[in-house]
Amino acid sequence: MLGLTGSKAGGVGPVLNHDSRDIVDAPKQGWYFNLNNIAYRQGIEGSNNFNVYRADFRQYWSHGDGNVFAVRQSNQWTADAPASAYAPVVLRRYTIGEFLGKYMSSFEVEESHRLAARWTATLFAGMACLYGGSRGGCTDSSNRFPNLGAGVQHVLKPAQGIVANLEFALGKEGNKALLFKMGYAW
């Protein structure tokens, strides 16, 4: 039992965003950056006063005939947050909220290889770390969360960028997941 309780949250804050991806839903080149702070306050229908800071960076490089190499580095830091608002692991295979820490940083790489006009295959791997508070640092293996996986994507409607995505991912301690979603992972 995690001992988490629900809470009401209302917040506002600044966002700094840059997006140079050629196609937002299926990028082949460019980069994306988002830095934000949400200040949750009791005066905005919240039950606690706390802050959440996030930084997300993604870079895409096209190579060959429709192949793409991509990296994503994601972070979330909390200040004075209740445990239910702690940072989750942000990697494929891990359910949001399954593992929480005061702070989280993750890094993931993906190679997408074009098989045919409407088909691609992907390989991906990454590592996340939960740290801060009672968790200590990333040198402790219990705070590290790896992922490794592969998938296949089929473009259903090229003009609209609608993609069916099926992936298999392995995680920590033998955890595994079969993931189906519409759209690319990130």
User: What does each C-alpha distance from 43 to 39, 46, 148 come to in angstroms?
Assistant: 11, 7, 43
Domain boundaries, the chain: 11-182
CATH class in words for 11-182: mainly beta
In 3-state terms, what secondary structure has residue 126? Answer: strand
* Ordered per-residue pLDDT tens for the chain, 186 residues: 455 566 677 899 999 999 999 988 889 999 999 999 999 999 888 888 999 999 999 999 999 998 999 999 999 999 999 988 999 999 999 998 899 999 999 999 999 999 999 999 999 999 999 999 888 899 999 999 999 999 999 999 988 878 999 999 999 988 899 999 998 888
CA distance 136 to 142: 10
What is the reported pTM? 0.89
- Structure confidence at residue 1 (pLDDT): 44
- Structure confidence at residue 4 (pLDDT): 57
Structure tokens that stand for 97 in this block:
């909220």
